[in-house]
Amino acid sequence: MAYFYLFTIWMLLAGGGWVVWSRFTRSETARQRLFASAADSPEVAQTDLRQMGLFRRWLYRAGFRGASDPTIFLTATSFSILFGIGAATLFVFAGFQETFVASVQLIPGGTGEVFLPAAYLSPWILGISTACLPWLYVRRARRTRVQEFDQDLPLALDLLSTLSESGLGFDVAISRILDTRLGDRPLGKELRSYQADLLAGRSRIECLRRLAWRVNVSGVTILTSALVQAEQIGMGIAEVLRRQALDMRSRRREKANMFALSLATKRMFPLVICFLPGLFVWTLGPVFIELIQMADAFVRVRDF
């Protein structure tokens, strides 16, 4: 009980520290926004990713681009590590680990011996899993962002190629696309940053390269490389966009076919582990019971 009270007090102190730090971070962010000029807005003053460190670049490409986001991530990681240590300590001293180990050892047939290492390492697994929560959150945000780019890019390419073939310029076509539902998606926000770079006086080639660096998605990188090459050699943008749209459809079709072909292999493991044992028990269980009863009766008659 004393360990429980100690852990409760420690959790309250950690929560109070988190509240104080959150208020300080919000006030600092509000002060920076209050005294920042319009030229310092995120869309105008985009930092070159090549001048960032790996950690800042990782957060930036996951969508966490605020000035205080690295500090918030490090603070959350520190608190997660402390929570993980506290949870692992409570798990050990409260007797949960001993109960878990004893329960595993009670599994019949000697099967529990296989899971004993995991039972002994359960406090470490709990602590490490809790400490990795901020990293997993940022990783999930990055994967979600990449999926959204992969979903929106084919539609945006079709619209760009159609508008360019109808006589509109590339920049005007982008403005038209931003008026659709794509304007509120991550791709639309990156295109707004591209327009802000153009308004800042940068060349189109540099703006396209900065777009590829910011997004770091294979489809966007291929598209920007083709547009940069077309801009350098003076090729028509409409034709390039049409070919890129066709290539994008082909890549999506191949990816869908590859996923469909891999379903048989992926389905084998849950089928063997989860479905087939129950099926065997349900169909062959009564037969084995009858065989055991017949063998038992035969042994009894023989002993008699």
pLDDT at 26 over 80: no
Q: What is the pLDDT confidence band of residue 39, given thresholds at 50, 70 and 90?
A: very low
| CA–CA–CA angle 146, 149, 152 (5° rounding) | 150
Burial state string for 168-197 with b = 16 or more CB within 10 A and e = fewer than 16? bebeebbeebbeeebeebbbbbbbebbebb
**pLDDT given for residue 232 in this prediction:** 87
pLDDT at 166 over 60: yes
**pLDDT given for residue 36 in this prediction:** 44
Q: Lowest-pLDDT range, 125-139, 144-158, 229-243, 284-298?
A: 284-298
pLDDT in tens, 173-208: 888 888 888 888 888 889 898 989 888 888 888 888
pLDDT at 109 over 90: no
39 or 209, greater pLDDT? 209
Name every residue whose Cβ is closer than 8 Å to that of residue 5 and which is 6 or more positions away in sequence: none
pLDDT in tens, 242-289: 888 888 888 888 888 888 888 878 788 777 777 777 777 777 777 777
Q: Lowest-pLDDT range, 40-49, 62-71, 238-247, 293-302?
A: 40-49
Amino acid in the structure at residue 236 = G
Highest mean pLDDT among 82-91, 96-105, 281-290: 82-91
pLDDT at 38 over 60: no
Longest dimension (CA), the chain: 104
pLDDT at 143 over 90: yes
Kindly list the domain boundaries of the chain, sorted by start residue.
1-25+49-143, 149-252
Q: Lowest-pLDDT range, 49-63, 157-171, 173-187?
A: 49-63
Entry field: residues in the chain: 304
**pLDDT given for residue 31 in this prediction:** 52
pTM over 0.85: no
